[in-house]
Amino acid sequence: MFGSSSRRTQRLTLCFCSSTAGLWFIMSISHVLALLALLLPWGRCQFDVCRSLRGSKAGPEFYACQPPPTNMKEVMQIRVDPPGITCGNPPERFCTLENPYLCSDECDASSPDLSHPPQLMGDRERGGLITYWQTITWSRFPEPLLANITLTWNKSLEVVDDIVVTFEYGRPTSMVLEKSIDKGVTWQPYQYYADDCLEAFGMSPKRVTDLAPSNITRVICTEQYSRWEEKSVVFEVRARFGVFAGPKLINMDALYTRMETTKGLRDFFTFTNLRLRLLRPALGGTYVQRDNLLKYFYAISNIDVFARCKCNLHASQCALRDATLQCECDHNTAGQDCQSCSREFTSRTWRPGSYLPLPKGTANAYCECNGHSNRCSYIDFINVVTCVSCKHNTRGQNCQYCRLGYYQNASLPLTDENVCVECECHADGSVSPRCSDSGLCQCKDGATGRRCDSCLPGYTWRGGGVANVCDGERLVCRNGGTCVDFLRCVCPENFTGKHSSGDSRSLQEQNCLNPPLPPPRPLHPVLSTLSSPSCPLNNKGLSYLLFPLLLWGSRTL
């Protein structure tokens, strides 16, 4: 038995890794997968290893990883309701739809050969013998024949292939598949099945092929699986994946990318419990024949649920411990679903792993935004995951830089809310709003200071540093002219000179020429009322050193 299990596992491995078959099991060998497979290593596939095998100097590189899928029927707990719905107690005769007058079959719970207990829905059938659970017949018609089958794993799982329920003696006229993602606390419908969706559920019938990427998680009612002659009722997982990965599931990268970026998509394929609510048995294509109610009942021979343990991409193995499935966590994570950091790493923030960037994914860097954002987006054509809406004046793929006009306070960690400090470069005194790593703005001529908001010696603040023309000490106006506002000489009356014309910066131009005979008179009243400078006057003594040519020019006049 051990040998045959491992041989089958290897076959599955090949299928599982081949690019054309995709990640999917072949249904024909589905019944034979041993639980052993959960514990065996699998071939080299995408997302099957958690870390680089060759350690680098910086330690191992971590990748996204997930356990291989397996047929979860091997480990499901089955419960049927109401009590007494299973046939055989007391023993009962039943007929078949094909031949309603052949009623030789018997269900007897006390006989191993004639009993049909619930576990026969999940058993491994040997030697071609079909085994099935069966209910009592509809002898209480018109009271409805209702049955619930609850499948429990006590572990969150991600379905990876069609869920297939095989009905012997006809598929139900109507039923609902429900799921829970919180171990049975709350339930939600997964899919409705009826031969007439409108009549049974007030829903218009749909097929999965009607779904588009935008509504792939819509819960639909399908009429495809309710004709009684066939056996399988399917919850179509492949077809839903195919909407992204193509009909043959070749482009799995597209699916993984969608899983990561489309809200609610991964949750749609996640469950901890499933429930079949059987509402009306197969009727054989006609109305209920009251005179032969022994041909109406439910019988299920198999339920295939191909799924993998959900380990938040932190484990490549999942094992049964104390009768409960448990991820074998890597990446310093712990918990049944690797949903927290292991004890030595509790100071770190836990994050799920990510399929992105392809092909190896990351252990937790998918949305690493240094605490300045919790939203990322994936840019497919450059295969980059980037933070969006970085707060606290940060920017960059991981919100690791400061926005234009801000610089990083080197004494704070990158994750601090105040890490980016405003440059506050003076708009008039600076070349740009940008500043250096230490917060120094780049100043225009004449301006100085960290923020470029004060003047160099010999300059006066006039919406930026403007070179002084005169200062009354070193740069003196000639012929009794008076220096006004460091900018111009105001000459006594009857002197020529452009004493009031604009902002010319040359002392030579501004000086007072052609001295007249009479002595100077008081200043022109208009020119004496100029606005006061914002730079202090303490620099005027140095003007001489800074502007020797100007000074020289004024003396030679």
For residue 182, give the nearest of 156, 162, 202, 204 by alpha carbon.
Answer: 156
Pick what 123 binds: Ca ion, ligand NAG, none; C-beta below 5 to 8 Å, kind-dependent.
Ca ion
CB of 47 to ligand NAG, least distance (A): 23
412 touching ligand NAG, by CB under 6 A: yes
Distance, CA of 102 to CA of 200 (rounded, Å) = 30
- Burial code of 24-38, b = ≥16 C-beta within 10 A, e = fewer? bbeeeebebbbeebb
The SS3 assignment for 322 reads coil
Pick what 243 binds: ligand NAG, Ca ion, none; C-beta below 5 to 8 Å, kind-dependent.
none
Q: What part of residues 142-161 is at the interface with ligand NAG (CB under 6 A)? A: 146-148, 154
518 touching ligand NAG, by CB under 6 A: yes
For residue 390, give the nearest of 406, 381, 382 by alpha carbon.
Answer: 406
344 by Cβ neighbours in 10 Å (0-12 / 13-18 / 19+) ranks as exposed
* Chain residues that interact with Ca ion, rule: CB under 5 A: 120, 123, 131, 301-302
CB of 272 to Ca ion, least distance (A): 23
411 touching ligand NAG, by CB under 6 A: yes
CB of 498 to ligand NAG, least distance (A): 18
| DSSP code for 75 | G
Q: Which is nearer to ligand NAG, 11 or 183 (CB)?
A: 183
Report how many residues bind ligand NAG under the rule CB under 6 A: 27
CB of 81 to Ca ion, least distance (A): 20
Name the residue with tokens 């994750």.
Answer: 415
397 touching ligand NAG, by CB under 6 A: no
End-to-end CA distance of the chain: 115
Q: Which is nearer to Ca ion, 134 or 332 (CB)?
A: 134
Pick what 409 binds: ligand NAG, Ca ion, none; C-beta below 5 to 8 Å, kind-dependent.
ligand NAG
Beta strands in 299-383 (DSSP E): 299-304, 306-309, 315-321, 324-329, 333-334, 340-341, 376-379
Q: Which is nearer to ligand NAG, 28 or 411 (CB)?
A: 411
DSSP state letters, 1-61: -HHHHHHHHHHHHHHHH-TTTTT---GGGGGG--GGGGGS---S-TT--SB-SS-BTTBPP
Distance, CA of 541 to CA of 439 (rounded, Å) = 30
Pick what 127 binds: ligand NAG, Ca ion, none; C-beta below 5 to 8 Å, kind-dependent.
none
Per CB under 6 A, the list member of 3, 59, 82, 264 interacting with ligand NAG is 82
Pick what 93 binds: ligand NAG, Ca ion, none; C-beta below 5 to 8 Å, kind-dependent.
none
Report yes or no: 399 and 369 within 8 Å, Cβ to Cβ: yes
User: What is the contact mask toward ligand NAG in residues 275 to 294, using x (rule: CB under 6 A)?
Assistant: --x-----------------
- Site residues (vs ligand NAG, CB under 6 A): 81-82, 146-148, 154, 206, 210-212, 214-215, 218, 220, 277, 323-324, 336, 409, 411-412, 421, 493-494, 516, 518, 521
